Structure 1
């Protein structure tokens, strides 16, 4: 079994590098959404479709654990509100009035919040080497978002949309930490199905309200495809991998993968005709070693020396 655990750990360490790439697709969706589909309807459609897929895959397991669901259903409503309402619809709402630089800069605080919270709240071990990794990664993120001009930090203008993104940043930290705080007998698939269902329930009244507002949604194929892409890529793909890897590696080690977001977002921008610059390379040279340091497994403590062994050595 130790070999199986080691293989699972290696797989998790590999997949966490994919999570921010999947989430980068959400930047494109958020940028395309205004004038096509409202933020709450987009989030509701995204997570409603994801919930349907996950319920098909994990429905039998959920039925077997129905007693567990009856006992702790408020937890899944809370996780759904944090992960699907605030980190879903509110991100789309914020993207309507704030720029990518502000979003990336604010979101860069999320892994720090998760790392600190994991140490204080979950009693996870956080070594000096991992702290250095956090500092390197955070410095790389800032270097990317200010395009290599650190004096630009003094020129950042915060607008109403930044408040939505800040709320989403705090909510994501709480979402990640609560999944560790509230252990579950469910597999990663079944648990995400339950969380998505809770998120859809919480999103429903906001979606009904939004549908009554004129001009927010022009339903058609563009809106349909935005929902499908958001559901399958940054929805099912990113959230499933994140939740599963967090079980294997711990909250703080997985959270640092979010620092890769600006680098993957730069790649998405290049596809859209916005080629990356030298500041992205400089950021990568800080972020990638930082991610390595934080995700590397701490060395096990040395066993205490045995007095009898010392005596034999002296003799």
Structure 2
């Protein structure tokens, strides 16, 4: 009976991870679909404002109880919030103005590779041959994608600017993830998340005001409001809850492997809702990126 319950628990863990990944892929669809309807900073600001409003009732108690820890490490929280909340997601919305949801999702899953590279230089972690091969394969896939299969365009620096913005966002998210690995002791996930949501929103506010003063565009309507609610509630809060449940059940390695299916969801949703084409370039890039990530992760599993 215990084996049956264990299998059900594992199955639920994978469902949670898939649900979170599918919701995150929806964020790319919204970003791309609303690229002409709402400015990027405004979309980011509204997203995190909704997330703060919805998440506060669930986490305010933890935030109040653990405020001394947050106050003591305010520099850490400021940097983490600016990277992960203010900058990372805003760059995604900038990127969505000039590239497809499929490209966004494919490039986004490269962030674990950058974590490995930064860990090597910052923490002197060993970069093995397998990790080196995996990184090379992943970066080849990214270059193949952003140059549209014509590597010779590297000589003329002729990238799609949205792909470059997304690659920059992935690098920033890798740095943000390294900061999260070193979160202060005694801090709950709820307090960490709500504090970074709030601080990130505060840092984003001046840019939001600047955009409102320069881009005279009314963006709240019957189309954008449901989309903002989606990215604020589902792509932020619900996905976060499901993801953490999956990590508790499966562990970070197995849950992380599910995250790499994000381009599949984004490609399918982009095809259905945005009528984006899926070509052989995406297929070959996906093979490169997935293969490189699997090779890299295989090394870490052996070490365990």
**TM-score normalised to the size of structure 2?**
0.74
Q: CA deviation at 1:201?
A: 1.0
The equivalent residue for 1:4 is none
2:278 alignment partner, one of 270, 276, 279? 276
Is the partner of 2:223 in helix, strand or coil?
helix
The answer to whether 1:298 aligns with 2:301 is: yes
Q: Deviations over 1:205-259 (max 9, x none)?
A: 222232333433332222211211111233224555667859x648xx9878775
The answer to whether 1:198 aligns with 2:205 is: no
Q: CA deviation at 1:262?
A: 3.7
Q: CA deviation at 1:202?
A: 0.8
Partner Cα distance (1:37, 1:274) in 2: 20
Decide whether the 8 Å contact of 1:13 with 1:295 is kept in 2. no
Q: CA deviation at 1:146?
A: 5.9
**TM-score normalised to the size of structure 1?**
0.72
Superposition map of 1:30-179 within 5 A: 30-96=31-97, 98-100=98-100, 107=108, 110-122=111-123, 127-142=128-143, 157-158=158-159, 164-179=165-180
Decide whether the 8 Å contact of 1:111 with 1:255 is kept in 2. no
Q: Taking structure 1 as reference, are residues 285 and 219 closer, same or farther at Cα in structure 2, changes over 3 Å only?
A: closer
Partner Cα distance (1:159, 1:281) in 2: 18
**What count of residue pairs does the alignment treat as equivalent?**
293
Decide whether the 8 Å contact of 2:94 with 2:165 is kept in 1. yes
Decide whether the 8 Å contact of 2:43 with 2:228 is kept in 1. yes
Decide whether the 8 Å contact of 2:110 with 2:289 is kept in 1. no
Decide whether the 8 Å contact of 2:106 with 2:286 is kept in 1. no
Q: CA deviation at 1:168?
A: 2.4
Range moving further from structure 2, 107-116 or 73-82: 107-116
Range moving further from structure 2, 41-50 or 291-300: 291-300
**RMSD value, Cα:** 4.1
Partner Cα distance (2:165, 2:29) in 1: 18
Q: CA deviation at 1:130?
A: 4.4
Q: Taking structure 1 as reference, are residues 52 and 223 closer, same or farther at Cα in structure 2, changes over 3 Å only?
A: same
Structure with bigger gyration radius: 1
Partner Cα distance (2:15, 2:191) in 1: 22
Mind listing any 5+ residue stretches in structure 2 that lack a counterpart?
Answer: 1-7
The equivalent residue for 1:308 is none
Q: CA deviation at 1:176?
A: 0.9
Q: CA deviation at 1:196?
A: 0.5
Partner Cα distance (1:88, 1:125) in 2: 30
Q: Taking structure 1 as reference, are residues 195 and 225 closer, same or farther at Cα in structure 2, changes over 3 Å only?
A: same
The equivalent residue for 1:23 is 24
Range moving further from structure 2, 133-142 or 58-67: 133-142
